[in-house]
Structure 1
């Protein structure tokens, strides 16, 4: 049997949040529902964050209330604090995500605190998740390089990845936030990381800033990773990472997987409708 790889669709949250656009709730709902019909099993639908800081996600509860859910799909939300966690619980999210940085500069720009302080904030979220039985995914940003601190040491990435797994995250998504990665730097990071963390607990999250995300996915596949984040029509970027073009396109990830002989379960024809909605959002 062909080995299966999971594509974790992040367009409705990571993609839209970084655009700086006020997308109508009904459009977000239509995008999520179109993605739900493609065969994707993991969709990051929204983010329960302060509307003061991220007005693009102010309608998180409304989005979750209005989508027509498909039982086979896991709908997740980003929850940076306990208040966001409670919002996600009330909205019946299937899982939540927390995010940390592998670099101090990016942590202070994105979270307004040190890396150590960010982990202190995770404690009540993880306790609450255990109480209600919601799985928690971890994001680790700037695993190759940081727009403020430069290159990030593989040992530092390993330390914080292991810490996210230790506190209870079922998986850590490794984010090349500014698309700085090359095959060589990714390999160097994985050489150290995979000595400490199992591949089945890791996911790849690549930005196509320099057009080489395809090679990074192929390299990560060769090293044993079997989950990859992707964004429909390449929506996204990062407002705290200047120059970070969109996340890798979902269709491009599908092409890499197929070329390498893996299955993904996503229907190409069904994906077209979601792509059209995404393209309509950005004009």
Structure 2
């Protein structure tokens, strides 16, 4: 499973990102990753399987999950769904961080949870219609949601192990960004570790313990992730795609792809194009 560091870029006209989850057609996976943003996934139709903090959450209609900064999570969508995603850049909460430099939120009772879900739904509806003055309205609701998070959903204390994981993932963020920029190169563990002043043993250990994946698996998954984009976005040959993304040949790419998606690249491409 891939673990990657995501840079959250707000919509051009908003101080956050608000969109429909890209796995809406089903048969889709988002492999393990983390980021500094706070995310809310709110299911409108269908269901998705969410994995976070070693827990599995099956989210159905009107269910949502709160994802804090530096929480490793992954998603599987075997079936079609409509899921609203709200991504709030971590810097939004800089005035409310604890002494440790982090802030965490958690779901509360049904009444509070419904208030949050209704706000997210309303924000998306307004943004989607884009009537005259929509940006003012959606921003006003966004700040209402921030107030709700700070006053009703903020956790009072943070477990020491959770805090330790956040700090270690901060260290890994620079490493994984470098790997994302150079994933199609050889990228030996020893060379990457040396570049960032780590021993190979230490880098391997923090990958496994805090990102919950070993270095080699992360690298292969990263290559598959980027290869998928070319697979469904172009008519390039499978062998060409494999070479473009760091695989020695189409056979090694197909083996890695099937392990992660349960089918060959050609089958995945055919299914994806048929459902567009």
Whether these two folds match at TM > 0.5 is: no
**TM-score of the aligned structures, taking structure 2 as reference length:** 0.31
Which of 1 and 2 has greater Rg? 2
**TM-score of the aligned structures, taking structure 1 as reference length:** 0.31
